[in-house]
Amino acid sequence: MGKMLVTVWLVIFLLAGLATAADESQKAETAKSKAGVLEEKVAPDGDMMPPSPAQLITKPQVQAVDPTGEEPLDDAITCLARSIYWEARGDNDASMEAVANVVMNRVSHEGFPNTICGIVKQGHEQGACQFSWWCDGRSDDAEEKESYSRAKEIARMALNRQLKDRSGGALYFHHRGVSPDWSKEYIRTVEIGEFAFYKPAGGLAK
């Protein structure tokens, strides 16, 4: 009888684990699907009406996406969250949010690709990436779980249009420890944490 009870509990435990895994997978797929719709709404020719409640990505849904930080960069949430993580994970939330703002501002600007992954990977073919982490030759996996969870939450809010634009409409940024030549051609909008943010005069991107 004792062995039978152990077996029953083991089966129940395994089935519960499978059900949980299936639930998390469903949440992740739902989040990715919603992100694709929200990304299209942000694009220059998209619908600029605020997202409906049914379109909003929830916290559990976004946290179910890429739980180990190792998935390929082929969906809006992962591309945006990984950019936030790699560009500003060592800084404060305001800096991470401003990086998200820059990506979303680019998506809605006619001078850039109209998808988040397109923005993140832009310039890769020419060896001059817009986001240096994407082609620095290092692993792109997110290894710091807490920071990556924060990055995914900020990505969720950005896609839901629930994030204040801390960047002042910026399309560019750089670490304040460097002074790139291109920064002289643009208007500095704000400094946040370790970063300086810029937008082009007249709104024309280069």
Q: Quote the CA–CA distance of 193 and 137 in Å, as a whole number.
A: 26
Domain count, the chain: 1
Q: What is the pLDDT of residue 132?
A: 80
Domain span at residue 147 reads: 2-203
Q: What is the pLDDT of residue 48?
A: 82
Digitized pLDDT (tens) for each residue of the chain, 206 residues in all: 556 655 555 545 554 555 577 899 999 999 999 999 999 999 999 988 899 999 999 999 999 999 999 999 999 999 999 999 999 998 899 999 999 999 999 999 998 999 999 999 987 666 677 788 887 778 889 999 999 999 999 999 999 999 999 999 999 999 998 888 888 999 999 999 999 999 998 766 65
> What is the DSSP secondary structure assignment for residue 94, as one 8-state letter?
H
Q: What is the pLDDT of residue 188?
A: 96
Q: Quote the CA–CA distance of 107 and 46 in Å, as a whole number.
A: 10
Q: What is the pLDDT of residue 131?
A: 85
Q: Quote the CA–CA distance of 75 and 36 in Å, as a whole number.
A: 8
Q: What is the pLDDT of residue 3?
A: 60
- C-alpha dihedral, 5 to 9 to 11 to 16, nearest 10°: 160
Could you tell me the CATH number of the domain that includes residue 80? 1.10.10.2520
Q: What is the pLDDT of residue 11?
A: 47
